[in-house]
């Protein structure tokens, strides 16, 4: 099983791929677009992409790619994002002059930089890429022995770096949700709970149509675990909705609800049904 992801080895997306497919091989891609293309063109069996972060929100670009490509969502998982501070063996924390990482990771560790004013936060393309640049001594802002990187603990192992400090991030409630995309649906487990992701554009945008749509689910006792509207900049009165409903699209009651939604929508697409993953709790990963 070969799983495409965006980033370099040690990326959080790669960790999500390994959690979903233990023992899988992984295919690093430069962009999310390449992940979808790799699956579509059979260069990879599956792709794993982040779709929302608890602090940052939904990653609309990946929802756009889901809408644009004829792939199916087959799995989901949540990953707690925990940054480790790593450096070349022999480097001591008090000698660090710069720490490189993705700007979001640097921002998530701002308390560390406030406590260590002699250490500058330097933006890098991505987290695991920063660990790799440090290991390869590639265009670093200082001598390599004065530079650290913030990335996953897995990245430290891959690039032979020593972890100086674990869980450097300010907040523990930072997690990312990943979806797995495939060319065809996977066989669902025998037992649920399941979840189904949908995207739809209401038939007409007037007060009441959203209520009619939520009513289709409520009437059949179906829980919605996500609802999100997104304005369409080309049509100021059009909204696209992303919904996650509990259940499988192939079985009642969700199957019936989808049929009832048809007359209420201009566009309705089932992105896929999959086993419902548990949300991570505080203090667990």
Tell me which residues are annotated as active site: 176, 178
The single residue listed with the structure tokens 């924390």 is: 93
When binding is defined by CB under 8 A, the residue of 110, 118, 137, 252 that contacts a second copy is 110
DSSP annotation of 21 reads: S
Q: Does 115 bind a second copy (CB under 8 A)?
A: no
> In whole angstroms, what is the distance from residue 195 CA to residue 119 CA?
45
When binding is defined by CB under 8 A, the residue of 1, 25, 68, 103 that contacts a second copy is 103
Q: Does 67 bind a second copy (CB under 8 A)?
A: no
- Buried/exposed code over 76-88 (b: 16+ C-beta within 10 A; e: otherwise): bbbbbbbbbbbbb
Q: Does 256 bind a second copy (CB under 8 A)?
A: no
Q: Does 118 bind a second copy (CB under 8 A)?
A: no
- Residue 130 or 155: the one with the smaller Cβ distance to a second copy is 130
The Cβ-side half-sphere exposure at 239, using a 13 Å CA radius, reads 14
Q: Does 266 bind a second copy (CB under 8 A)?
A: no
H/E run at residue 4: strand 2-6
Q: Does 221 bind a second copy (CB under 8 A)?
A: yes
Strands 194-202, 265-275: pairing is antiparallel
Least separation in angstroms between residue 89's CB and a second copy is 26
Least separation in angstroms between residue 182's CB and a second copy is 24
Angle at Cα 101 formed by Cα 107 and Cα 76, nearest 5°? 80
DSSP annotation of 264 reads: G
**Signed CA dihedral, 121, 126, 132, 138: sign only:** negative
Q: What string marks each residue from 132 to 171 as x (binds a second copy by CB under 8 A) or -? A: -------x-x------------------------------
Residue 255's contacts (CB-CB under 8 Å, 6 or more residues apart) are 248, 249
Contact assessment for residue 176 and residue 50, using Cβ atoms and an 8 Å cutoff: yes
Q: Does 31 bind a second copy (CB under 8 A)?
A: yes
When binding is defined by CB under 8 A, the residue of 157, 225, 260, 269 that contacts a second copy is 225
When binding is defined by CB under 8 A, the residue of 189, 215, 267, 285 that contacts a second copy is 215
H/E run at residue 258: helix 254-261
Q: Does 34 bind a second copy (CB under 8 A)?
A: no
Least separation in angstroms between residue 7's CB and a second copy is 13
- Residue 187 or 211: the one with the smaller Cβ distance to a second copy is 211
- Residue 55 or 67: the one with the smaller Cβ distance to a second copy is 55
Helix%, strand%, coil% for the chain, nearest 5: 30, 35, 35
Q: Which residues bind a second copy (CB under 8 A)?
A: 31, 52-61, 64, 102-103, 107, 110, 123-125, 139, 141, 173, 175, 206-208, 210-212, 214-215, 217-218, 221-231, 233-234, 236, 239, 278-282
């Amino acid at each position: 099983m070969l799983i495409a992801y965006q980033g370099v080895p040690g990326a959080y997306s790669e960790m999500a791929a390994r959690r979903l497919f233990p023992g899988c091989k992984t295919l690093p891609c430069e962009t999310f677009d390449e992940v979808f293309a790799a699956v579509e063109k059979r260069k990879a069996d599956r792709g794993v992409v982040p779709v929302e972060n608890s602090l940052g929100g939904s990653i609309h670009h990946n929802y756009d790619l889901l809408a644009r490509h004829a792939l199916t969502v087959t799995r989901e998982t949540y990953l707690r994002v925990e940054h480790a501070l790593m450096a070349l063996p022999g480097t001591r924390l008090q000698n660090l002059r710069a720490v490189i990482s993705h700007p979001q990771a640097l921002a998530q560790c701002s308390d560390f930089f406030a406590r260590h004013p002699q250490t500058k936060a330097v933006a890098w393309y991505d987290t695991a890429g920063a660990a790799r640049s440090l290991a390869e001594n590639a265009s670093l802002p200082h001598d390599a022995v004065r530079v650290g990187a913030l990335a996953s603990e897995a990245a430290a192992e891959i690039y032979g770096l020593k972890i100086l400090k674990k869980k450097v991030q300010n907040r523990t409630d930072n997690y990312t949700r990943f979806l797995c995309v495939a060319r065809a649906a996977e066989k669902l487990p025998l037992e649920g709970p399941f979840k189904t992701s949908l995207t739809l554009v209401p038939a007409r945008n007037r007060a009441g149509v959203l209520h009619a749509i939520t009513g289709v689910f409520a009437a059949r006792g179906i829980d919605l675990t996500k609802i999100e509207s997104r304005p369409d900049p080309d049509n100021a009165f059009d909204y696209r909705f992303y919904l996650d409903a509990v259940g499988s699209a192939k079985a009642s009651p969700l199957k019936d609800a989808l049929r009832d939604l048809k007359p209420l929508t201009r566009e309705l697409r089932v992105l896929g049904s999959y086993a419902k993953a548990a949300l991570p709790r505080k203090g667990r990963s």
